[in-house]
A and B are shown apart, each in its own frame.
Chain A
Amino acid sequence: MGLFILRRAGVMLITALCLTFIVFFLANLYPNLEKLAKTQGNFRMSEEEVATWLGNRGYTQPLFVKYGEWLGVVPGAVIEGTDGQIRGRCIRDGMTPQEAPDYCGILQGDWGTSTVFQDNVGGIISTRLGLTGKLMFWVMVLMVPSALLLGVLAGMREGSRTDRTLSTVAITTTATPEYVSGVILIAVFASSAVGLKWFKGTATSAMENATFENFFLPVLTISLYGMGYIARMTRASMAEVMTAQYIRTARLKGVSFPNIVVKHALRNALIAPFTVIMLQFPWLLNGVVIVETLFNYKGFGWTLVAAASNNDIELLLGVSVVSVFVVLVTQLISDIGYVYLNPRISVS
């Protein structure tokens, strides 16, 4: 088991390195840098001005050097600009070039500076992640129990009317991406045109003070999409368990139906949904981006959009490191959990 986790951790590390390098490469393509220079400097810069602007700030160094600097394995460049000012990767505001450390990369815990927010990337990401964590917590609280309930109810009597109805509900929710369900939910529950106005159409105020009124719609929107999928998996696994021999034996012994479902079937039926729930995290990340944009909730997903649309290289890299980490860790947990829940499987 230890070796298995170790090997997986190694693969994770390589994956993370490759992915960040791809992001780094794409974000550092010249047209992207040109756009960055024009948004940060001014829009009417000529070609040469763009080139000197980029050169002064170290953007024109070779790609691998820049990547190494970001990682913290190559000393941060110190460049004497054409305007006579000395700038360096590691020289923060109010620091002289002598005081600045040689290395400043991820390995030193320095995530760089965001060009859009003019702030430390590490700080931005941790506050935004906190906000998204709040959202995700409530999504999980709403989604997982209701999905499992839906799946178990549908799967315990396969082919019955309850099963048909609940399965149709589950299929409909999986067919509704967040930007569709969000729009419909806002239209029905928050717009002045329908007039119900039970909830708020934006969740901006939920960042400081989340209430049922301003937070329920975003949570519901994300939950709906994942719920149908988990419910269908639970239903399939429940239906399979219910045809097993030991369930028949229990029935023949005269155990009551609710007892069979709760005591005999449930635990075995929940193995498959567990992995599915863990693997839902990457999908939820997608949903988070859409919902946070739709409801203007300035969390992690909103930051991703802001970073990507402004080509904020270091923020973008920070965001991708975190999201890749989330994806890979959930995969690992789902593998380990699967082995733990299902004693018939062993990793060795």
Chain B
Amino acid sequence: MEPLSWFEIITRVLWQFIPVWIALIAVFVVSIRYKRRLGLYGKLFDSTIGMIGFALVMFWVFTGIFGAMDLIVTHDALSQVSGMKNEPPGTPLMRAEDGQYPYYLFGGDNLARDVFSRMIKGAWVVVQIAPLATIFAFMVGITLGLPAGFYGGRLDTFLSFLANLILAFPVILLFYLLVTPEIVATGIPNYMAVVLFIFPIVFIAVLLNSRYRTQPRIRTPLLIGVLGILGWLYLSLISESGSKVSVIPDFLDLFNVPGGILVVFVSVVFVNSPTVFRIVRGLALDIKTRDYVAAAQTRGEGAWYIMLWEILPNARGPLIVDLCLRIGYTTILLGTLGFFGLGLPPESPDWGTTINDGRRLLQIYLHPALVPALSLLSMVLGLNLLADGLREETLRD
């Protein structure tokens, strides 16, 4: 068979992405039709920049999800096909079996794996970790930043000192210290997970408690239910049989986070939360002088009620914008980890690892490194544009 021309490659790639296009069009049609009723999300569709950013982000989100369902990928991301080593984009397979996709659309990498499929699978790694890790970092930052800004004093001094301490570390040094197999063997990342992952539970418990404190009839069953489920999730998340932290028996353990991922997750949360803390603290310092906070204090509301139900909702604009930017930054951090070969297994298809693999032969073969590099670029660009669009729209009202 002849190698594909560039035009054929592009057509075939676009064809492979059909499920993504359908999902994207569906989301856009529905969102634009009902945009007046969708609040801030709907307003996003008034700004071109925001829409472009949203489209880029959702493209990768759908690609990741459908890729995980094996819809878009043409080959297995790990299997090697003989004779395909470093072949240029559009090369046909030497002996294609029945039902096997006959081309490597974006060529093969130095281990004769399909670059296109690895790109798609890599998107799933990012889509899985980056948003979740960022949200965790936000929960940690908010739970600590609100009281620091609201109470001030010793607590503020102490927490700010801790935050500055972590921020003064060069990120890469921190990664090298935390994400090596030797440190993993000591169980330090597991203990850090134990500490860091408790913050979301504390956050939600305080959030609900401060709201329904005056109505014990609703509060007690609600808290028991929510905390029960969250506690179970928490225990399943942190406990891993065979590691240092193994608190609950296996039959109660809902899921096991695959090796390396937990460490990566923890270190990314750890690096991000001090910055979130500083932002939240600054916002709390500013907002606590407002009249509605004084009004709530006069009404006799508790301190946590004021923090979580008066200050936090009024700080949402800058926080949502920062969330988008920070997901982008987390994506960059994940790439950095992969680039230095830390944490994720070496055969992992995530973009940082593939860039690192591909860069060694960059002088001769471009595609194995260039494809994941451009993917990462477009995803982070999308998040930044989205943040920009959101910022414009939140400033407007």
Residues of A in contact with B (beta carbons under 8 Å apart): 11, 14-15, 18-19, 23, 26-27, 29-32, 34-35, 171-172, 174-177, 179-180, 183-184, 186-187, 190-194, 201, 282, 285-286, 289-290, 293-294, 301, 304-305, 308-309, 311, 316, 319-320, 323-324, 327-328
Contact = CB atoms under 8 A, between A and B. Distances in A.
B249 interface: no
A184 B364 CA distance: 13
Contacts of A32: 180, 182-183
Contacts of A184: 370, 373-374, 377
A302 to B, nearest CB: 11
Contacts of A15: 161, 164-165, 168
Given A289-B170, A304-B170, A179 B335 contact: yes
A47 to B, nearest CB: 14
Interface string B164-199: 110111111100111011110110100000000000
A171 B384 contact: yes
Contacts of B380: 175-177
Contacts of A282: 167-168, 170
B298 interface: no
B177 A23 contact: yes
B339 interface: yes
A290 B339 contact: yes
Contacts of A324: 168-169
12 contacts: A26-B177, A31-B185, A32-B182, A171-B385, A179-B355, A180-B335, A180-B374, A184-B377, A187-B366, A308-B176, A320-B169, A323-B170
A191 B165 contact: no
Given A192-B364, A290-B339, A293-B340, A327 B177 contact: no
Contact of B365 (A193, A201, A320): A193
A177 B336 contact: yes
Contacts of A201: 362-363
Contacts of A30: 186
Contacts of B373: 179-180, 183-184
B238 to A, nearest CB: 20
A179 B381 contact: no
B173 A179 contact: no
A294 B340 CA distance: 10
Contacts of B177: 23, 26-27, 308
Contacts of A305: 172, 176, 340
Contacts of B370: 183-184, 187
Contact of A177 (B161, B167, B332, B385): B332
Nearest to A16: B168
Contact of A172 (B171, B332, B381): B381
Main secondary structure of the interface of B (DSSP, over half): helix
B65 interface: no
A282 to B, nearest CB: 7
Given A29-B186, A31-B185, A293-B340, A192 B381 contact: no
B145 interface: no
B67 interface: no
A327 B145 CA distance: 22
B339 A31 contact: no
Given A29-B183, A31-B185, A201-B363, A320 B369 contact: no
A333 B151 CA distance: 29
B168 A191 contact: no
A177 B335 contact: yes
Contacts of A286: 170-172, 336
B274 to A, nearest CB: 12
A190 B182 contact: no
B170 A193 contact: no
- Identify which of B168, B377, B381 gathers the most chain A CB atoms within 10 Å of its CB: B168
Interface string B357-397: 01100111110011001101100110111001000000000
Contacts of B359: 179, 183, 186, 294
B108 interface: no
A285 to B, nearest CB: 5
- Identify which of A14, A193, A282, A324 gathers the most chain B CB atoms within 10 Å of its CB: A193
A289 B377 contact: no
B328 interface: yes
Given A193-B365, A286-B336, 5 more contacts: A14-B161, A175-B381, A192-B363, A193-B366, A305-B176
B343 to A, nearest CB: 13
Nearest to A186: B362
A304 B173 contact: yes
A175 B328 contact: yes
A31 B186 contact: yes
A19 B169 contact: yes
A174 B340 contact: no
Contacts of A294: 359
B200 interface: no
A293 B355 CA distance: 13
Interface string B140-180: 00000000000000000000010011011111110011101
A35 B377 CA distance: 37
Contacts of A190: 363
Nearest to B176: A308
A313 B173 CA distance: 13
A186 B168 CA distance: 31
B352 interface: yes
B113 to A, nearest CB: 18
Contacts of B384: 171, 174-175
A282 B241 CA distance: 39
Contacts of B185: 31
A179 B352 contact: yes
A121 to B, nearest CB: 15
A29 B188 CA distance: 10
A29 B187 CA distance: 11
A193 B370 CA distance: 12
Contacts of A186: 359, 362-363
B170 A187 contact: no
A181 to B, nearest CB: 8
A323 B18 CA distance: 49
Contacts of B182: 29, 31-32, 34-35, 311
A190 B383 CA distance: 30
